[in-house]
Structure 1
Amino acid sequence: MKRIVIVLALVGTLGLTAWTLLTNKKEVEAKIYKPNPDQKVGVRTAIAELRNLAQETEFLGSFSPNREVEIRPQAGGQIIQLPFEEGQLVGTGRLLAKLDDEQLRYQVEGLQVTLEGYQNDLKRYENLVKGDATPAVNVERAQLNIRATEAQIKQLKKQIANTTITAPFAGIITEKMVEKGSVVSIGSPIAKITDISSLKLVVDVPEKAINQFRTGQSIAVLTEVYPNANFTGRVSMIAAQGDAAHNYPVEITVNNSGKHPLKAGMYGSIANTDKLKTQALAVPRQAILGSAKQPQIYVVENGKAVLKSVEIGTTTNEYYEITKGLHSGDQVVTSGQINLQNGTPVVAQ
């Protein structure tokens, strides 16, 4: 009798538990939102159509001088002439500095006297050799002395020439490092000269766009300081090696303008237009779902959103070129895709 009571109690407990679970399931299911399959979702759409596509990419850089060097003398001494000021325009061969060369000239005079003595000795020895009055070796020794002295004179004259320092090219003195009366050594800088008759605009171009440039190509250049002025540059260098981010420096040479003078360090930019096919089937970028490898688009057909896989070509800032999966005139969804599933009824807003 006792076992029967226990069994009945267990059966009753299990039945109560099952009834409770069933009741809770019904309550949960009643609370879950079930979308109305006939309710239409509002979306925004656009028409896939043929367009003349062009992609304009702007690359920003800064201007650097055509040439810039520090003037360093090849001789040492005291500066006795320094006929320039910072900011002054100088021409090619213009005197920039003159070093004291008095001691060098005295040495040249002394060697010239010595040279005359050796030349006179040579004449005497040549006459004596004819009469066998002196060995021929004296003539050879005199000739060697003459050659050595002439070499010393040439060396001193070269040193004297190095005391005259001139501008290697036309430019502007952008830095003056010494004053008249200063004593300088060989190789110490005395000035910096900058040539901005033309400038070099260096921009970093990403790998995907580097093939749009070629050496010698003419290209429009824009500047912030002269927003309404048009400059034309020429691609003078394309780097053979990129950096870690796969950017390649491209150098554009721009002739300076008297009307709109440019300065080194100013910002400049180029806008390169990559023209695609004359006519290409295109949709707004907002219509594309998924990844670039597996793009998809919702197309409105018979009042429903149909999810289609497509293939894309070149992109611009606003459009994707569709190479497969759509037809001209198809209505594509550009906004509201988050509320859609394949076959969801839609209404264009």
Structure 2
Amino acid sequence: MKRVITIIIVVIVVLAAIGYVLNNNKKKEQETTEFIAKGSGAVAVKVAKVERKEIDLDFTANGTFAPNKELEFSAENSGRVTKVYVEEGSRVSVGTVLARIDAEILNTDRETAEATYQNAVRDLNRYESSFKTGGVTQQQLDQAKLAAENAKLKLQQQQRKLSDANIRSSINGVVNKKMIEVGAVVAPGTKLFELVDVSKLKLKVNVNEGQVANLKIGDKIEIQSNVFPNDKFSGKVTFIAAKADETLNFPIEVEVTNNVKNSLRAGMYGTAVFKFPAQAPAILVPRTSFVGSVSSNEVFVYNTSKNVAETRKVVSGRILGESVEILDGLKEGETVITSGQINLTEGAPVTIIK
């Protein structure tokens, strides 16, 4: 019996709690309704004055420095590493020998190819002499010429391989990684070194559609680094994406000249400061003034004499952050409605929320 009474009491408490929550939600909903439609049925809205303001196109964008050049050297021949001439952190220039791979087998192959070529040349000379006296046919002479040419190509190939036994740098830069040691046996494709050139870097940033419209290849850009706040760096725009990414931003690359100490390193964060000439003042309205979106080119204007909302077709220009340039359709000093448009129709009475 006591158990039944306990269950009944619990059910009553739960029902009472549910009733309280529902009643409280109803009160809040009613308050919201009254707030939206207070003032004798007028729609509550917020407004803003149409003003002519100075346009500031300057902006900053953060990104990460990447090396201007970055190469991974791989072995082109098989062999044993006999010499490594650089260490990680070593500065190298074009043509610097980084390492040497055992050339004994390569030397043998080159000498064999040399002997084969010399023999083919002698055969060709004999065939040419015999051809003049009618000792061989034209076909036999052509075959001798072909054999000599093939032998020459094979000799050039072996000489190139022998030359590749010395691994040489093709850029000016720094040895970022050394992946081999003396005695290691490598095969074609084995990674040997990673070289990076940080005398110039690329700062990769993203800008929006309003910002990218004011940029062009070659623009000079000021670069700042939080790590070196007292150092001045400069750069120029070298790449502007023709298509926005999935976030509707446009990737931009700025080539940055490092200082004499090469202080900047790939992977550091940097800030690109984009500055533009002063612009003529323009009529601006808040972006939220538009019905739906900026592309609708329609706003509600507040008629101060009648306290009603009136629709107005406008011609929008540049989107400048939270403001939009108006090229036609509004005059300075008029009032546009910035919130509550979803409840408005042409000529609807409104009341302004301070």
Q: Same fold (TM over 0.5)?
A: yes
Name the structure 1 match of 2:204. Answer: 202
Provide the rounded CA distance (Å) in 1 between the counterparts of 2:72 and 2:182: 18
CA apart distance, 1:245:
2.7
Question: In 2, Cα distance between the equivalents of 1:321 and 1:184?
Answer: 64
Greater CA drift, 159-168 or 218-227? 218-227
Matched, 1:188 2:190: yes
**Amino acid across the alignment from 1:250:** I
Which range moved further: 112-121 or 197-206?
112-121
Give me the whole-angstrom Cα distance separating, in 2, the residues matched to 1:111 and 1:315: 70
**Alignment-derived partner of residue 235 in structure 2:** 233
Q: Which runs of 5+ in 1 are unaligned?
A: 1-31, 38-43, 335-340
Q: How far did 1:182 drift?
A: 0.6
Distance 2:261 2:319 in 1: 39
Q: Which of 50, 53, 60 is equivalent to 1:51?
A: 53
The 10-residue stretch of structure 1 (203-212 or 247-256) with the greater mean CA deviation from structure 2: 203-212
Paired position in structure 1 for 2:246: 244
Any conservation in 2 of the 1:174–1:194 contact (CA below 8 Å)? yes
Contact 2:299 2:337 in 1 (8 A): no
Contact 1:205 1:249 in 2 (8 A): yes
Is 1:168 matched with 2:170?
Answer: yes
CA deviations over 1:128-168 (Å, ceiling 9, x no partner): 95998x9447x958766655544443332122111111001
Answer yes or no: is 1:268 the counterpart of 2:270: yes
**Structure 1 residues 315 and 126, CA gap change in structure 2 (3 angstroms):** closer
Deviates more, 1:107-116 or 1:170-179: 107-116
Secondary structure class of the residue paired with 1:60: strand
- TM-aligned CA distance change 1:186 to 1:330, over 3 Å: closer
**C-alpha spacing 1:242/1:98, structure 2 compared with 1 (3 Å):** same
Q: Does the 8 Å CA contact 2:236/2:254 hold for their aligned counterparts?
A: yes
Q: Is the 8 A contact 1:229 1:260 kept in 2?
A: no
TM-fit CA distance, 1:272? 3.2
Report if aligned partners of 1:196, 1:263 keep a CA contact under 8 Å in 2.
yes
AA in 2 matched with 1:51: K
Q: What are the equivalent positions in structure 2 for 1:193-342 lying under 5 Å apart?
A: 193-258=195-260, 261-273=263-275, 277-281=279-283, 294-296=298-300, 314=318, 316=320
- The Cα shift of 1:46 comes to 9.2
Determine the C-alpha separation between the residues in 1 that align with 2:132 and 2:330: 114
Q: Give the Cα–Cα distance (whole angstroms) in 2 for the partners of residues 126 and 102 of structure 1.
A: 35
1:75 and 2:77 correspond = yes
Normalised by the length of structure 2, the TM-score is: 0.65
Asked whether the equivalents of residues 49 and 333 of structure 2 are also in contact (C-alpha less than 8 Å), the reply is yes
Structure 2 counterpart of 1:67, which letter? Answer: K
Residues 271/152 of structure 1: CA separation in 2 closer, same or farther (3 Å cut): closer
Residue 60 of structure 1, aligned match among 58, 62, 68: 62
The separation in 2 between residues aligned to 1:83 and 1:317, in whole angstroms, is 55
CA change 1:68–1:111 in 2 (3 A) is: closer
The letter for the 2-side match of 1:205 is: V
- Per the alignment, do residues 70 and 118 of structure 1 end up closer, same or farther by CA in structure 2, a change over 3 Å counting? closer
Higher mean displacement: 79-88 or 271-280 = 271-280
The code of the aligned residue for 1:248 comes to F
Cα distance, 1:142–1:98 mapped onto 2, change above 3 Å:
same
Note closer, same or farther for the CA distance 1:231–1:298 as it changes in structure 2 (3 Å cut): farther
Structure 1 vs Structure 2 CA RMSD: 4.7
Describe the shift of the 1:190–1:306 C-alpha distance in structure 2 as closer, same or farther (beyond 3 A): same
1:295 is displaced (CA, Å) by: 4.3
Q: Which has the larger radius of gyration?
A: 1
Distance in structure 1 (CA, Å) of the matches to 2:235 and 2:124: 66
* 1:78–1:100 contact (8 Å) kept in structure 2: yes
1:94 aligns with 2:96: yes
Aligned counterparts of 1:260 and 1:183: Cα–Cα separation in 2: 35
Deviation, structure 1 residue 225: 1.8
TM-score, length of structure 1 as denominator length: 0.66
Gaps of 5+ in 2: 1-33, 41-45, 339-347
- Superposed displacement of residue 71, structure 1: 0.4
Letter in 2 for 1:241: K
Q: What's 1:154 paired with?
A: 156
SS of 1:243's equivalent in the other structure is coil
Aligned length: 303
For residues 343 and 188 of structure 1, what CA distance do their matches in structure 2 show?
A: 76
